[in-house]
Amino acid sequence: MRQIKHPTIEQVELIDILYALADPTRMEIVVRLAKAGRKLTCGELDLNRPKSSMSHHFKILRSAGLVETVVDGTEHMNALRLEEIEQKYPGVLESVLKATQP
Amino acid sequence: MRQIKHPTIEQVELIDILYALADPTRMEIVVRLAKAGRKLTCGELDLNRPKSSMSHHFKILRSAGLVETVVDGTEHMNALRLEEIEQKYPGVLESVLKATQP
DNA sequence: TCCAATGTTCGAATATAATCGAACATTGGA
DNA sequence: TCCAATGTTCGATTATATTCGAACATTGGA
């Protein structure tokens, strides 16, 4: 595939966001993307898991509307859809991210 | 059992809260408890499901620390632990509840 | 053109969760 | 004391999720 399909922000459902976040691996991905504040490749995230597992989790993050993935050559650049989600569900992602801080 | 065991607020984990909320039935319970703003019995919630199913969901809501259940005679009064959770994870529950409004 | 790099998809195994009927426990009242 | 009411627990079934190796697809560069 050239580029990956994502839901529009209108299609995003709160329950899917919560579901996507309710997994330690995916939460870790989201937290790292938020901390990075920029697009990261799966490789850069380096969560020490097989590629197929990471791909699975990214698929869920994408379908929930949390992550946007742009294909760039052989790499896939992933970014949090923070602003969009904040606009649709103010405070949800922000407070969750804040809650994960040490 | 006389009274039911609940986690202290210190024991409450964000991921468990998100997991508990990531189910339509449980989300509905939480929303109704929030709207009611008072303790409700399972019966009052009336989600049209078997008792054993409701009991199962309440167990998860309790163990996540979202709901507190006080035994009162033959009834079990359920309340959202809103203030405690707001204090520990500011904005999380509040923003989720706001996001569920029409 | 060939190939290494990056992820995705497939498939199968395993693990976890939801569902719900039936039996049980506890309580308060008749 | 008996019993109806309210939930819980148990057990079995079904449904969903996670995991990950292997095969595949796409790309850019040698």
Six-digit token string for A45: 């995230």
The stretch B58-73 carries a mean pLDDT of: 97
E-state strands within A1-102: 40-41, 67-72, 75-80
Report the residue of A29, A82, A87, A96 to disrupt the B interface, i.e. the one with the largest count of B CBs within 10 Å: A96
Stated in angstroms, how far is B77 CA from C26 C1'?
A: 15
pLDDT of residue A66: 98
Question: Which tokens is B49 given?
Answer: 């499901």
pLDDT band at residue B30, thresholds of 50, 70 and 90?
very high
pLDDT, greater one: A1 or A79: A79
CB nearest to B91's CB, from A22, A23, A91: A91
> Cα–Cα distance between B8 and B11 in angstroms, integer?
5
Report the pLDDT value the prediction gives residue A16, as an integer from 0 to 100.
Answer: 98
Q: In order of start, what are the domains of chain A with their CATH numbers?
A: 9-99 (1.10.10.10)
Mean pLDDT of A43-67: 95
Q: Please, how many CA atoms are within 13 Å of residue B58, restricted to the half-sphere of its CB?
A: 24
B75 CA to chain A: closest CA distance, Å?
Answer: 30
The SS3 of residue A50 is: coil
How buried is residue B30: exposed, middle or buried, by Cβ count under 10 Å (0-12/13-18/19+)? buried
pLDDT at B46 over 80: no
pLDDT band for position B43 (cuts 50, 70, 90): confident
How many CA atoms lie within 13 Å of A72's alpha carbon, on the beta-carbon side?
12
Q: CA A83 to CA B50: how far, in whole Å?
A: 41
At A22, which amino acid appears?
A: A
What tokens does A5 get?
A: 């399909």
Mean pLDDT computed over B45-73: 95
Instruction: Report which secondary-structure segment, H or E, holds B93.
Output: helix B92-99
**pLDDT, position A10:** 97
Mean pLDDT rounded to a whole number for chain A = 95
Around Cβ A99, how many Cβ atoms within 10 Å? 17
For testing contact with chain B, the best of A28, A88, A92, A97 (most B CBs within 10 A) = A92
The 3 state secondary structure assigned to B19-84 is HHHCCHHHHHHHHHHHHHCCCEEHHHHCCCCCHHHHHHHHHHHHHHCCEEEEEECCEEEEEECHHH
